[in-house]
């Protein structure tokens, strides 16, 4: 067994084990949890977004404040048939990521239709 | 060619001029030529001063080079004057067909069209030159814009022409006044800043940091332009040789920065007058450059009552507004009034912006939030404390004379503590941590919130104590965020966003009870607005 220093095998392999564990966590565990926690609901008067594993946040955006809605789709997303819905208020943007493309288009159209009659900022 | 029904005769700013599209457009006041010329000169001087100065220095300061330089200056001035004239001739404006049209450009001709109902305000600014000629600069702002670059700016118009333009633009947005008298009644003054209050505002503005950094910049420049040896001679002749000299020098520097801060405030806010005319607020302020700004009440998203560290002990506060599409940049609030007594704020808001008036008593944070506030304060103070303690304990650092410390230790001596000798400097760290913790307690005590009359009122302290009033129906979005530590203590943070400038600003309550947060988020929903 290769011995670079005076350290025993099991201690020497610790950093490698830690790296693999971290990788598993970031690639497999965390995204699954995050996906499970992502929820959205489009009510007649506002959009309700809930997300987060450790830092849980719930955001409500009144439809009256949404100025316009986009769907966005990068190359990787397109390969899997996904899109992100982004809606803009005067104070910034909010998004619903990684919806299937038809669902994303439907959400975009639904929000756009519901905000049509709003004239306030 | 059309003749037009323009502004009253005898008004040089309203020369009628037909255009090829039969629009009766108007020119700027001739003073615009001078302003344009000066702007051109300033641009060119900025570009040429360093290479020009270097060139002159290399040629020596003989008579010939001075004449050469003077000739150059005259040429530049003449060219600038010609350009100023050409720009003036090329600039015309008109209100026609429900829009404001501005034509500009000598070489590249631009026409800008702003539909009248996109115009948010028509502001006037009076710089020194405009004052000399009795004219004003008019800036037409739209809702999406703001920022330092107004959407359309006319550099010189006579007061009459400016008034006519303003009436033409605004008449399409507001209901026409009932009678002639109503229209000429004009806005009512809500409050005017007295000179005494102006000086107090300058003295307590806490902008000393800005002034100090200015001093630092100047000293940097000083370094660059003068040779090492020269600087060393100056410094060694002025350098402080003792502790008291260092302190005096620091005090003098601080005093100078403070005076600069006062000067800055006086320049910006002299004669600050807030008036209201129905749904519009008018702000006039400025010493050299006189500004007149309009804030439509419907665009105000939130009002902030700012009690600065130097002002709160005297019961004073400043008022700022977050205004949609108006203001310098995203999230930078505009001054509504620079200084007034805290107890007069409610009465002031009732007169100026009644939607934001009303001072409900605030709900405090639950006591389990205290330890988080204290912890956060200590955590943010930690780096500073560590540095200060290290300097105090280990004496000299990079040759810097530390008060009371000489080579090999600090002169304050040691203190006998727990049967060992502890340098006084080492006690500094725990003391600073205690102070930080106390500040955290202060922040906890000052935090509060309330939902009253459809308005979210939130108070917090970072340095200044700020109370924010935001009507629920103006919020762009609201969130409840909780970290695992907060969840363990049944706490959460409420974040509401309002529109401000070209972007957004936040109203935040950190560490309130999670039930309260949840119920607040629901109650702030669309149901609460008409």
- Low-confidence winner among A117-121, B179-183, B262-266 (lowest mean pLDDT): B179-183
How far apart, in whole angstroms, are the C-alpha atoms of residue B446 and residue B307?
11
DSSP-assigned beta bridge partners for residue B416:
B421
What residues of B are in contact with residue A52 (Cβ under 8 Å)? 481
What residues of A are in contact with residue B514 (Cβ under 8 Å)? none
Q: Which of A54, A90, A91 sits opposite B484 (nearest CB)?
A: A54
**Helix B370-394 × helix B428-446 angle, to 10°:** 150
Backbone angles phi, psi at B98, to 5 degrees: 75, 15
What band does B271 get if pLDDT is binned at 50, 70 and 90?
very high
Backbone angles phi, psi at A53, to 5 degrees: -100, -60
CB-based burial, B210-248: b 16+ in 10 Å, e otherwise: ebbeeeeeeeeeeeeeeeeeeeeeeeeeeeeeeeeebee
- Low-confidence winner among B261-265, B363-367, B424-428, B460-464 (lowest mean pLDDT): B424-428
Q: Which of A54, A62, A92 sits opposite B504 (nearest CB)?
A: A92
pLDDT at B301 exceeding the cut of 70: yes
Average pLDDT value over all residues in chain B? 80
Q: What is the pLDDT of residue B435?
A: 92
CB A91 to CB B526 under 8 A? no
Q: Which of A59, A65, A90 sits opposite B479 (nearest CB)?
A: A59
Q: How far is A75 from chain B (nearest CA, A)?
A: 29
CB A91 to CB B477 under 8 A? yes
Tell which wins on pLDDT, B242 or B161.
Answer: B161
Q: How far is B384 from chain A (nearest CA, A)?
A: 28
Q: What is the pLDDT of residue B19?
A: 43
Q: How far is B526 from chain A (nearest CA, A)?
A: 7
What residues of A are in contact with residue B505 (Cβ under 8 Å)? 91
CB A45 to CB B525 under 8 A? yes
Interior angle at CA B392, CA B387 and CA B396, nearest 5: 95
Residues B417-426 pLDDT 10s = 555 555 666 6
CB B499 to CB A57 under 8 A? no
Q: Tell me, what DSSP letter sits at residue B461?
A: E
What residues of A are in contact with residue B497 (Cβ under 8 Å)? 89, 91-92
Residues B177-228 pLDDT 10s = 444 444 445 778 889 999 999 999 988 887 766 677 777 777 777 666 666 6
Q: What is the pLDDT of residue A11?
A: 81
Contact by Cβ (8 Å): B502, B147: yes
pLDDT at B495 exceeding the cut of 60: yes
DSSP-assigned beta bridge partners for residue B103:
B92, B111
pLDDT at A30 exceeding the cut of 90: no
Pick the residue from chain A with its C-alpha nearest to B488.
A54
Q: Touching check for A50 and chain B: CB below 8 Å? A: no
What residues of B are in contact with residue A91 (Cβ under 8 Å)? 476-477, 497-500, 503-505
Residues B138-153 pLDDT 10s = 988 776 554 445 678 8
Q: What is the pLDDT of residue B511?
A: 94
DSSP-assigned beta bridge partners for residue B305:
B319, B467
Mean pLDDT of B430-459: 93
Q: What is the pLDDT of residue B443?
A: 96
What are the residues whose beta carbons fall under 8 Å from the beta carbon of B210, sequence distance 6 or more? B261, B264
Mean pLDDT of B360-382: 93
What residues of A are in contact with residue B480 (Cβ under 8 Å)? 57-58
Q: How far is B303 from chain A (nearest CA, A)?
A: 16
CB B498 to CB A46 under 8 A? no
What residues of B are in contact with residue A95 (Cβ under 8 Å)? none
Report A:67-96 residues touching B (Cβ under 8 A).
89-92, 94
How far apart, in whole angstroms, are the C-alpha atoms of residue B79 and residue B82?
5
Specify the 3-state DSSP secondary structure of B309.
coil
CB A91 to CB B476 under 8 A? yes
Q: Determine what percent of chain B is predicted with pLDDT higher than 90.
A: 33
Pick the residue from chain B with its C-alpha nearest to A44.
B526
CB A58 to CB B503 under 8 A? no
Residues of B with CB under 8 A from a CB of A: 143, 299, 324-325, 475-484, 487, 497-500, 503-505, 521, 524-527
Residues B307-323 pLDDT 10s = 999 999 999 999 999 98
Contact by Cβ (8 Å): B29, B15: no
What residues of B are in contact with residue A61 (Cβ under 8 Å)? 476-477
CB B497 to CB A92 under 8 A? yes
Backbone angles phi, psi at B97, to 5 degrees: 60, 40
Distances (CA, A) of B65 to B10, B62, B68: 48, 6, 5
- For every residue of B367-403, which 3-state class applies, written as one string? HHHHHHHHHHHHHHHHHHHHHHHHHHHHCCECCECCC
Q: How far is B513 from chain A (nearest CA, A)?
A: 15
pLDDT at B306 exceeding the cut of 90: yes
């Amino acid at each position: 067994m290769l011995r670079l220093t005076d350290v025993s095998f099991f201690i020497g392999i610790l950093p490698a084990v830690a790296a693999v564990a971290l990788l598993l966590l970031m690639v497999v565990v965390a995204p699954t949890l995050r996906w499970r926690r992502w929820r959205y609901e489009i009510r007649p008067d506002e959009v309700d977004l809930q997300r987060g594993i450790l830092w849980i946040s719930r955001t409500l955006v009144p439809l009256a404040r949404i100025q316009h809605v986009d769907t966005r789709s990068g190359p990787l997303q397109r390969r899997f048939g996904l899109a992100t819905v982004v809606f803009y208020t005067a104070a910034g943007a909010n998004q619903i990521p990684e919806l299937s493309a038809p669902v994303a288009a439907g959400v975009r159209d639904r929000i756009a239709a519901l905000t049509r009659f709003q004239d306030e900022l | 060619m059309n003749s037009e029904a323009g502004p009253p005769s005898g008004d040089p700013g309203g020369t009628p001029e037909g255009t090829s599209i039969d629009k009766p457009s108007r020119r700027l006041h001739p003073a615009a030529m001078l302003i344009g010329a000066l702007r051109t000169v300033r641009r060119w001087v900025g570009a040429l001063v360093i290479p020009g100065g270097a060139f002159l220095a290399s040629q020596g300061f003989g008579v010939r080079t001075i004449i050469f330089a003077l000739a150059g200056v005259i040429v530049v001035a003449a060219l600038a004057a010609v350009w100023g004239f050409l720009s003036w001739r090329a600039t015309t404006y008109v209100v026609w067909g429900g829009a404001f049209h501005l034509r500009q450009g000598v070489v590249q001709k631009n026409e800008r069209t702003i539909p009248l109902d996109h115009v948010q305000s028509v502001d006037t600014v009076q710089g020194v030159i405009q004052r000399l000629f009795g004219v004003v600069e008019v800036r037409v702002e739209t809702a999406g814009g703001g920022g330092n670059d107004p959407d359309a700016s006319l550099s010189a118009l006579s007061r009459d022409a400016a008034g006519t333009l303003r009436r033409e633009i605004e008449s399409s947005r507001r209901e026409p006044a009932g009678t002639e008298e109503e229209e000429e009644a004009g806005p009512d003054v809500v409050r005017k800043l007295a000179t005494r209050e102006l000086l107090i505002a300058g003295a307590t503005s806490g902008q000393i940091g800005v002034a100090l950094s200015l001093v630092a910049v100047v000293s940097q420049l000083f370094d660059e332009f003068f040779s090492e040896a020269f600087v060393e001679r100056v410094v060694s002749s002025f350098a402080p040789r003792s502790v008291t000299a260092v302190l005096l020098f620091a005090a003098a520097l601080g005093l100078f920065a403070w005076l600069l801060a006062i000067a800055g405030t006086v320049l910006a806010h002299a004669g600050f007058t807030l008036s209201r005319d129905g749904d519009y607020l008018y702000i006039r302020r400025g010493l050299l450059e006189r500004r007149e700004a309009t804030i439509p009440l419907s665009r105000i998203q939130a009002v902030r009552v700012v009690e600065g560290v130097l002002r709160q002990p005297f019961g004073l506060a400043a008022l700022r507004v977050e205004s949609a599409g108006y203001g310098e940049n995203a999230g930078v609030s505009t001054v509504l009034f620079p200084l007034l007594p805290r107890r007069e704020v409610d009465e002031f808001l009732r007169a100026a912006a009644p939607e934001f008036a009303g001072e409900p008593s605030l709900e405090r944070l639950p006591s389990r939030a205290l330890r988080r506030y204290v912890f956060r304060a200590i955590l943010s103070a930690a780096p500073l404390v560590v540095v200060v303690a290290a300097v105090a304990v280990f004496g000299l650092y990079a040759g810097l004379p530390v008060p009371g410390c000489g080579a090999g230790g600090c002169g304050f001596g040691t203190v006998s503590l727990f049967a060992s000798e502890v340098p006084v400097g080492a006690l500094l760290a725990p003391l600073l941590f205690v102070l930080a913790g106390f500040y955290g307690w202060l922040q906890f005590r000052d935090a509060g919130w309330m939902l009253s009359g459809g308005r979210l009122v939130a108070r917090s302290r970072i340095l200044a104590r700020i109370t924010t009033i935001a009507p629920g129906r103006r919020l762009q979005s609201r969130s409840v965020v909780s970290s695992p530590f907060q969840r363990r203590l049944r706490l959460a943070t409420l974040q509401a966003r309002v529109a401000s400038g070209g972007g957004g600003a936040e109203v935040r309550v950190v560490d309130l009870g999670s039930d309260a947060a949840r119920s607040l988020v629901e109650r702030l929903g669309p149901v609460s607005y008409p």
